């Protein structure tokens, strides 16, 4: 279909021949006229293992520098890497390719690229092959995609296919010294993310080392170009999207038995010692691993069935070479190494994830970080290593610090996060074991825990499927763990799930209106304005211009008044925006198209919102300075009285940290810093301020509004703000609480609302001081004294209660009914729940007793307890009794409590409890 796209002048002039692969029937280009294979496994095997293809060996630093310098010398500008967390995207969490750095705004032509042409080496993370890492000899979750990109426009073309292939071939042959006859260019059109184009896969001695994509098409239902079952039309831009595998090129230059030994030889030698594995070179083991990697390159190893088949094939191949080994011996020898390789990979990706600010949690990118942390912890346990994940991560940071010093800058925070996550992992196992036991008991012997349930147990409770298996199978419940379990988990959480939005019916007249002129940007202090009505339908009114701020960015809309025809005063209750058109909701009158109106903003409300919005930026910046650079805003709501900001953080915010944040925020206010509002081209804003701009969300369009508080804070923001920080007034932090795992909410007040909070607190302190009969400065000592006295009195009351219970105990036991050999005590008491529990506890200290006690104080209360030697589940008895009282209850087998709101049902509840006890004891 796209054959003409590959008829390149470069191929024709440089002795390339187009052939059809005898195995896969795909076309490819090669300078070897006799070549019959495209060179892409399974059509070919790895030919470079044990036979490096470059003129010398390279490590990661050397290969990266060789690539970037090569392209710099040929007119490309070197661009620094982007974070591995895609802060500029709202559709993916992690950076999965170098082109993702420039999507969607550059690739759509909305903004220019940071350079054109450019070259970059971008760390990327992909978790879709997570279960193959370590086993296949080639898979990684974290890799660097070296690339040169060109963005050709209709007005200016820099270079296209011929030059792209020429640069690739020159780098591989001239710079690296690879024999040109070992290189094949396989035709394989690319599509993804709504775009497509011709592409060639670049293969060297059986290893794919690069892909050259020529993105020139976009999805179009009316398009005339068909590709892979879709129709496309040509794009205005023509984009060169290349991707070279840094790690694969290093491997090809090294010829090691697998990619892991090629990348981290020194690190793996140290870690093998920690895992009690042989660190001496072993020719037999290397021969085995050579064969494993070669065969794994021909097939997938993401399931246990495939892995077993691979082991058997390796054993057969080795036997033919005189190396006798069984598949079982292979498994015993290779599995620890495979686990160690996976651990090296996972600790490396965690260095990037945590170093770039991802906080482990149960959502988004934080979920994926926690997934890898817990897999790494499990691998350390299986390997029985004499180390911790903190120490391994520190070793990776040390190894990465030369090329990525910025990762090392966040070391202390990263270590605290991993320490805390390790502790949480242990707690999860302890709690989860009980959960699995309960689930297995509920299912019963012979049942199977489904894959969906396993995924739920991992998602909701963090339970590794192997732990589920260890607990459930001894109880007779089967657990079948899918071999690609963790890949399934990762794929469920790798991108933003977008629910289908309800189609809003927008009138045609509204769609045709021009964008509303926003007076509040031109003159933020303008309280009144005149405007012309462009649209009026029911309560909805659109004006040609407005000073009313529409709801957005967590800031509520303005309200106020419109003076309409005949001077009628209309309430403006809110304002919203749709495609740049501000729609006012009005009450109390009618307006017509063409009317001239006078608007007046409720300035007290606007000023409160404005102060709160600037205070939000100040509080966020102060939080980052106190808690760390990992803090990132996940949500905010500004209010006239109380506002809130939600931030990522790995542990509960302490009172001392709250005081530090509050102090820093108020210092920023008192310094009276200028609050600038700048309209900048997006690319210029990103170059000046980085991705911190997107703390409050990702705006659309070429031009963005940036709010900058000198060197203290900078964010993209469309809200209203003061001119100088002193106008905010005091900021009072009210409380901090976790709202979900890894996300914490800080509530605060600003301006006059903060003054009211201070006054309210003063009133509370004064009242408390008056109650205790002391001055406010003596309140802490007085409170401590009264509390000490209260505890002493409470202890005396408890002792008296126990004495009373002991006295009551004899009488109740004397009146007890015998059910077999068990004394059944049933009694209604005039007591609180606490007193009932105390009395029940005294009764069952005696052997062979079941106590059923009730009270009609504040509803019907029931307590059931039994001695240790009695076979009865108190929780089940209470549950039935509580139903009779119109409520609920439960508890442990030895002690339970419950009841209902209707005190008149107590007698019936006690009767039901007694019947249930007799039934179970009988």
The phi and psi torsions of 18 (rounded to 5 degrees) equal: -90, 125
Q: Tokens in use for 140?
A: 């990684």
What pLDDT is attached to residue 226?
82
Percent of the chain surpassing pLDDT 90: 48
Residue 293 has pLDDT above 70, yes or no: yes
Q: How many residues does the chain have?
A: 922
CA 274/CA 383 separation, integer angstroms: 9
Q: Tokens in use for 73?
A: 């010398």
Residue 299 has pLDDT above 80, yes or no: no
Instruction: Decide: helix, strand or coil at residue 437.
Output: helix
* Mean pLDDT (whole number) for 877-897: 90
Average confidence score pLDDT of the chain: 87
At 330, the pLDDT band (50, 70, 90 cuts) reads confident
CA 868/CA 859 separation, integer angstroms: 29
Query: What would the pLDDT profile of 643-702 be if each residue is shown by its tens digit?
Result: 999 999 999 999 999 999 999 999 999 999 999 999 999 888 888 998 888 888 888 888
DSSP state letter for 617: H
Instruction: Decide: helix, strand or coil at residue 707.
Output: strand
At 566, the pLDDT band (50, 70, 90 cuts) reads low
Query: What would the pLDDT profile of 397-435 be if each residue is shown by its tens digit?
Result: 999 999 999 998 889 999 999 999 999 888 887 777 777
User: What is the 3-class SS of 771-821, one letter each residue?
Assistant: HHCCCHHHHHHHHHHHHHHHHHHHHHHHHHHHHHHHHHHHHHHHCCEEECC
What DSSP string runs through 74-128? TTPEE-PPPPSB-TT-SSBSB--SGGGGGTTTTTTTSS--SSSSEEEEEEEE--T
Instruction: From 628, 661, 634, 648, select the one nearest 733 (Cα to Cα).
Output: 661
Residue 3 has pLDDT above 70, yes or no: yes
Query: What would the pLDDT profile of 770-807 be if each residue is shown by its tens digit?
Result: 888 888 888 888 888 888 888 887 777 776 666 666 77
Q: Which helix (H) or strand (E) holds 860?
A: strand 860-866
Instruction: From 157, 161, 156, 125, select the one nearest 141 (Cα to Cα).
Output: 125
What pLDDT is attached to residue 502?
45
Query: What would the pLDDT profile of 508-544 be if each residue is shown by its tens digit?
Result: 777 788 889 999 998 889 999 999 999 988 888 899 9
Residue 500 has pLDDT above 60, yes or no: no
């Amino acid at each position: 279909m796209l054959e003409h796209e590959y008829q390149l002048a470069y191929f024709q002039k440089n002795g390339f021949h187009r052939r059809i692969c005898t195995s896969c029937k795909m076309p490819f280009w090669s300078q070897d006229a006799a070549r019959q294979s495209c060179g892409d496994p399974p059509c070919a095997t790895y030919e470079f293992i044990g036979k490096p293809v470059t003129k010398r060996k390279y490590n990661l630093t050397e290969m990266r520098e060789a690539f970037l310098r090569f392209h710099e010398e040929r007119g490309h500008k070197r661009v620094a890497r982007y974070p591995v967390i895609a802060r500029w995207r709202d559709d993916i969490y992690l950076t999965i390719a170098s082109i993702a750095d420039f999507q969607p705004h550059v690739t759509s032509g909305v903004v220019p690229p940071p350079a054109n042409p450019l070259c970059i080496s971008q760390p990327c993370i992909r978790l879709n092959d997570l279960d193959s890492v370590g086993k296949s000899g080639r898979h990684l979750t974290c890799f660097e995609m070296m690339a040169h990109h060109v963005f050709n426009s209709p007005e200016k073309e820099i270079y296209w296919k011929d030059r792209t292939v020429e640069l690739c071939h020159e780098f591989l042959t001239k710079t690296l010294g690879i024999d040109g006859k070992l290189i094949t260019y396989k035709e394989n059109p690319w599509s993804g993310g709504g775009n497509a184009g011709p592409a060639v896969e670049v293969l060297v001695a059986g290893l794919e080392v690069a892909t050259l994509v020529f993105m020139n098409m976009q999805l179009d239902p009316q398009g005339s170009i068909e590709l892979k079952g879709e129709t496309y039309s040509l794009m205005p831009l023509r984009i060169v999207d290349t991707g070279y595998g840094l790690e694969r090129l290093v491997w090809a230059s090294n010829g090691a038995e697998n990619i892991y030994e090629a990348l981290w030889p020194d690190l793996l030698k140290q870690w093998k010692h920690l895992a009690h594995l042989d660190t001496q070179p072993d020719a037999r083991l290397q021969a085995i691993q050579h064969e494993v990697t070669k065969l794994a390159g021909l097939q997938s190893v993401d399931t246990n069935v495939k892995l077993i088949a691979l082991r058997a094939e390796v054993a057969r191949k080795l036997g033919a070479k005189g190396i006798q080994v069984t598949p079982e011996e292979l498994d015993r020898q290779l599995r620890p190494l495979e686990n160690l390789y996976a651990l090296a990979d996972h600790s490396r990706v965690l260095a990037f994830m945590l170093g770039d600010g991802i906080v482990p949690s149960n959502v988004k990118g934080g979920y994926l970080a926690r997934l890898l942390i817990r897999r790494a912890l499990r691998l350390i346990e299986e390997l029985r290593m004499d180390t911790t994940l903190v120490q391994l991560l520190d070793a990776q940071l040390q190894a990465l610090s030369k090329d990525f010093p910025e990762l090392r800058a966040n070391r202390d925070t990263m270590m605290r996060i991993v320490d805390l996550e390790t502790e949480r992992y242990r707690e999860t196992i302890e709690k989860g074991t009980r959960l699995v036991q309960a689930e297995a008991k509920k299912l019963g012997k012979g049942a199977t825990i489904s894959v969906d349930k396993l995924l739920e147990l991992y998602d909701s409770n963090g339970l590794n499927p192997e732990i589920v298996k260890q607990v459930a199978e001894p109880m007779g419940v089967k657990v079948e763990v899918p071999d690609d379990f963790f890949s399934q988990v990762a794929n469920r959480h790798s991108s933003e799930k977008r629910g289908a939005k309800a189609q809003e019916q927008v009138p045609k007249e509204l769609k045709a209106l021009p964008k509303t002129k926003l007076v509040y940007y031109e003159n933020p202090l303008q309280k009144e304005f005149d405007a012309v009505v462009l649209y009026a339908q029911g309560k909805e009114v659109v004006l040609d211009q407005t000073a009313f701020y529409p709801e957005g960015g967590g800031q509520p809309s303005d309200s106020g008044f419109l003076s309409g025809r005949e001077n009628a005063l209309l309430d403006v209750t809110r304002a919203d925006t749709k495609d740049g058109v501000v729609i006012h909701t009005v009450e109390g009158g009618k307006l017509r198209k063409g009317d001239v109106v006078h608007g007046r903003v409720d300035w007290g409300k606007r000023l409160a919102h404005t102060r709160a919005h600037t205070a939000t930026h100040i509080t966020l910046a102060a939080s980052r300075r106190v808690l760390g650079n990992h803090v990132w805003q996940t949500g905010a709501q500004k209010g006239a009285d109380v506002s809130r900001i939600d931030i990522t953080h790995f542990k509960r915010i302490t009172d001392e940290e709250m005081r530090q944040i509050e102090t820093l925020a108020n210092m920023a206010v008192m310094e009276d810093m200028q609050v600038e509002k700048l309209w900048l081209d997006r690319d210029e804003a990103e170059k000046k301020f980085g991705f911190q701009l997107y703390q409050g969300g990702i705006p659309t369009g070429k031009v963005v509004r940036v709010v900058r508080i000198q060197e203290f804070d900078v964010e993209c923001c469309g809200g209203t703000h003061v001119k100088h920080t002193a106008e905010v007034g005091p900021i009072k932090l009210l409380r901090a609480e976790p709202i979900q795992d890894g996300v914490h909410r800080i509530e605060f007040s600003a301006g006059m609302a903060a003054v009211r909070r201070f006054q309210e607190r003063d009133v509370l302190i004064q009242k408390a001081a008056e109650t205790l009969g002391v001055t406010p400065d003596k309140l802490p000592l007085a409170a401590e004294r009264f509390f000490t006295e209260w505890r002493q009195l409470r202890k005396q009351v408890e002792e008296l209660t126990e004495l009373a219970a002991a006295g009551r105990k004899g009488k109740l036991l004397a009146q007890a009914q015998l059910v077999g050999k068990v004394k059944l005590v049933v009694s209604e008491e005039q007591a609180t729940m606490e007193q009932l529990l105390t009395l029940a506890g005294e009764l069952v200290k005696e052997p062979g007793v079941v106590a059923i006690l009730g009270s009609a104080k504040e509803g019907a209360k029931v307590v059931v307890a039994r001695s240790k030697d009695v076979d009865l589940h108190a929780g089940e008895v209470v549950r039935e009794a509580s139903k009779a009282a119109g409520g609920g209850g439960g508890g442990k087998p030895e002690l339970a409590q419950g009841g209902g709101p209707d005190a008149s049902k107590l007698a019936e509840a006690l009767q039901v409890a007694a019947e249930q006890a007799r039934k179970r004891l009988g």
